[in-house]
Chains A and B, each alone.
Chain A
Amino acid sequence: MSATGSIDIRVDFSDSTARQTKLLSKLLSINELSEFTGATVAVTGGTVGTASASVSIEPTDYRNASGEIVSFATAPTRIGLRADGAVPVTLTDTDLGEFKIASRSGSVAVTRWGSSSPGNGLTIQAAGGTNTYTILLVRDS
């Protein structure tokens, strides 16, 4: 069982100033559009407080369309985090220390995972309260 999909990220800013006879504008942009076929994907989520909690990826608690539990014997290559409320939620790679990302108020944090020998240790924690979160795990084919 494999999945298809895409990661589409667009970060666009303009910074402008009006002069007497002209408008000066600078555009700042970083974009990615990556398409995936044959990927392994899973989603997990819950509610977290200030106590650090482990996130299991081997196996996850996600069942694919065939009803099979999805497990990552080696770490996902990309990972996304979205926290719903205003309390920041952090997700940390505790094995390799390759990333620590955060989300709050519906922002989505994304990073690559596994530049070398992939680990599988993930912890999640909220700062100063509780919040609900969703994690999307992707391993490219």
Chain B
Amino acid sequence: MSDVSGQISVNLSFSDSTSLPTKTVLKTLLLLEESEGLTGKVAIVSGTVGTAALTVTPAYRNASGALVSFPDRGDSRGGINTIVLQSQSPGYVALACGDFKLLSGSGEVAETVTTGESATDSFNVNAISGTADYLVIVYADGD
């Protein structure tokens, strides 16, 4: 038995400004998430992939040495709830998890939640051209 604790922090912060004769106009655009105290199940997967889609079922072993699985339980909380992708090469990596699709290029993090309708315990990954290294974290808030 192992205990999972985690946090997801997303901060997209931009400002656009213009100087007028008597003032500066500043507009700030923010998109923020701070999720803390996350418990449940988590796994990490890394590898190298080419342009042919590769189906990946996480085979991560937790701190207790147990295999972490994400069974599709057929309800709204089944399968993988959140998936995070990072291309670790200069090229682009695409990921499909159920109906959901992410794209990441060169160190960028792409992330989405999924919905019960698309619950699955695996995902497909492929490089857009050539080969690329990828890193994926999958998370489920259930037991």
Contact = CB atoms under 8 A, between A and B. Distances in A.
Interface of A: 1-17, 24-26, 28, 30-32, 34, 36, 39, 41-43, 64-66, 78, 80, 82, 88, 90, 93, 97-104, 106-113, 115-116, 127, 134, 136, 138
Majority DSSP secondary structure for residues of A touching B: strand
Contact of B2 (A11, A17, A31, A110): A17
B14 A15 contact: no
Given A28-B137, A110-B10, A136-B12, A65 B108 contact: no
Contacts of A112: 92, 103-105, 108, 110
B17 to A, nearest CB: 5
A9 B9 contact: yes
Interface residues of B, number: 59
B114 interface: yes
Given A10-B9, A15-B2, A15-B42, A110 B111 contact: yes
B84 A11 contact: yes
Given A26-B62, A30-B86, 7 more contacts: A5-B13, A16-B63, A28-B44, A36-B14, A102-B112, A111-B110, A112-B103
